[in-house]
């Protein structure tokens, strides 16, 4: 019990009551949302939470530890493919299969991390390494019969709801991704309030100075990438069972990796609320411009507007939307 209350104190920290109340209210709204929302809005909200979650996972590596990965589709793809493949071939349920998927992704993260960090690849060179691994894996899966090759892997769509095999409707997947998002948020908050979180920030700011004050730089970076990969793999498992199909061309696509980075970049790198705020902004803009595109009937107009909107945000709020918003809300730097 004492451990639990200590954990609680660390979680709450010096957050002002109005922030806690707002968060509680937001959570309550999200919990009852499916009852009030139609199919369309529920699917939009699912997208928001998905991007908030994978953004949070990616943010551990980039936002906290300062290491740019442009290959996170690798981890999501591995998680999804392995859990789906085990279910498809052997009937092993996703709750068991996810352990294999997460372990594979964590191992892949460890390999990428070790090669990159041990040999001091920094910045764009590390990013290139992450892209390369993601691309290799895409090519391998293209030719791997067990995973369905380039023709893809399809899960049977059953009727009714079966939580144990993750067969069911949008509401079930909504609550799963909500649980993941909340869990990742809490985990990241705890990490930032702990030794390893502080070490990551120090490495992000200046690795040489960090090492001089005793930070074991290589180990801390390895923990960041393995954890980030493992969390991303969970999103991959969720994704595979939600959409019921997997193709190497999309699961390991460069675009998928970029997509993962957008919410935290738009929302605010290295901030706890950034991925969520960014996901709301991005999904909102995406849906709005889809409507605009349908009204204007100009093909591709959605992408153009969407790109321009991102450009404007990055130009005028280079630190992200959340730090600016937090300022407006009168929150202090350390309370974000």
Partner 1 sequence: MSGARLELNAIGKSFRGLRAVHDVSFAVPAGTIQALIGPNGAGKTTIFNMIAGVFAPDLGTVTLDGRVISGLRPDRICDAGVGRTFQLVKPFKGLSVLENVTIGALHRRPDLGAARDHAAAILSRLGLHDRRHQLAESLTLPDRKRLEVARALATDPKLLLLDEVMAGLRPTEVDVMVAFLRELNASTGLTILLIEHVMRAVMALAAHIVVVSSGEKIAEGAPQDVVRNQAVLDVYLGEPEDA
Contact residues: partner 1, CB under 8 A: 193-195, 198-199, 201-202, 204-206, 208-217, 332-334
Query: d(Cα 138, Cα 254) in Å, to the nearest integer?
Result: 10
Reading phi first (left if > 0) and then psi (alpha if -120 to 50, else beta), residue 123 is in left
Judged by beta carbon, residue 187 or residue 288, the one nearer partner 1 is: 187
Query: d(Cα 325, Cα 71) in Å, to the nearest integer?
Result: 29
How far, CA to CA in Å, does 249 sit from each of 74, 87, 149, 161, 268? 12, 21, 10, 29, 29
Dihedral of CA 164/167/170/171: which sign?
Answer: negative
The least distance separating partner 1 from the CB of residue 113, rounded to whole angstroms, comes to 17
Query: At residue 162, what are phi and psi to the nearest 5 degrees?
Result: -140, 95
The least distance separating partner 1 from the CB of residue 299, rounded to whole angstroms, comes to 43
Q: What is the CA radius of gyration of the chain?
A: 20
Judged by beta carbon, residue 35 or residue 213, the one nearer partner 1 is: 213
Judged by beta carbon, residue 43 or residue 211, the one nearer partner 1 is: 211
Task: Find, among 61, 66, 82, the residue nearest to 137 by Cα.
Answer: 82
Judged by beta carbon, residue 239 or residue 271, the one nearer partner 1 is: 271
DSSP letter for each residue of 85-106? HHHHHH---HHHHHHHHHHHHH
Q: Copy the structure tokens of residue 305.
A: 């507007």
Judged by beta carbon, residue 2 or residue 208, the one nearer partner 1 is: 208
Go through the chain and tell me how many residues it has.
336
The least distance separating partner 1 from the CB of residue 333, rounded to whole angstroms, comes to 7
SS3 per-residue string spanning 264-303 = HHHHCCCCCCHHHHHHHHHHHHHHHHHHHHHHHCCCCHHH
Judged by beta carbon, residue 76 or residue 203, the one nearer partner 1 is: 203
Query: d(Cα 280, Cα 131) in Å, to the nearest integer?
Result: 27
The least distance separating partner 1 from the CB of residue 5, rounded to whole angstroms, comes to 14
- Per the CB < 8 A criterion, the answer to whether 122 and 101 are in contact is no
Judged by beta carbon, residue 199 or residue 276, the one nearer partner 1 is: 199
- Dihedral angle over CA of 75, 262, 247, 185, nearest 10: 50
The least distance separating partner 1 from the CB of residue 315, rounded to whole angstroms, comes to 20
Judged by beta carbon, residue 269 or residue 325, the one nearer partner 1 is: 269
- Per the CB < 8 A criterion, the answer to whether 232 and 54 are in contact is yes
The least distance separating partner 1 from the CB of residue 325, rounded to whole angstroms, comes to 18
């Amino acid at each position: 019990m004492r451990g639990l209350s200590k954990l609680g104190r660390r979680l709450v920290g010096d957050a002002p009551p109005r922030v806690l109340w707002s968060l509680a209210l937001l959570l309550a709204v999200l919990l009852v949302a499916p009852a009030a929302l139609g199919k369309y809005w529920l699917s939009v909200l699912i997208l928001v939470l998905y991007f908030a979650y994978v953004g949070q996972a990616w943010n551990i590596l980039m936002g906290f530890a300062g290491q740019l990965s442009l290959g996170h589709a690798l981890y999501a793809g591995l998680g999804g493919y392995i859990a789906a493949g085990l279910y498809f071939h052997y009937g092993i349920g996703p709750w068991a299969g996810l352990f294999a998927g997460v372990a594979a992704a964590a191992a892949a993260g460890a390999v990428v991390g070790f090669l990159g960090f041990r040999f001091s690849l920094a910045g764009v060179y590390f990013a290139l390494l992450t892209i390369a691994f993601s691309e290799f894996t895409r090519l391998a899966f293209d030719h791997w019969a067990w995973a369905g090759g380039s023709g893809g892997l399809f899960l049977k769509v059953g009727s009714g709801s079966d939580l144990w095999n993750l067969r069911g409707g949008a509401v079930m997947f909504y609550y799963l991704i909500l649980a993941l998002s909340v869990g990742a948020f809490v985990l990241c908050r705890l990490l930032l309030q702990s030794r390893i979180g502080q070490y990551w920030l120090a490495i992000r700011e200046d690795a040489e100075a960090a090492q001089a004050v005793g930070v074991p730089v290589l180990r801390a970076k390895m923990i960041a990438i393995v954890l980030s990969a493992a969390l991303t793999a969970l999103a991959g498992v969720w994704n595979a069972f939600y959409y019921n199909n997997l193709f190497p061309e999309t699961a390991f696509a460069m675009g998928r990796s970029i997509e993962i980075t957008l919410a935290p970049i738009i929302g605010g790198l290295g901030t706890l609320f950034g991925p969520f705020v960014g996901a709301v902004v991005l999904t909102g803009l995406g849906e709005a411009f889809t409507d605009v595109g349908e009204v204007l009937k100009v093909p591709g107009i959605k992408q153009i507007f969407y790109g321009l909107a991102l450009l404007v945000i990055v130009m005028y709020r280079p630190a992200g939307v959340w730090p600016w918003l937090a300022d407006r809300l009168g929150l202090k730097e350390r309370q974000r």
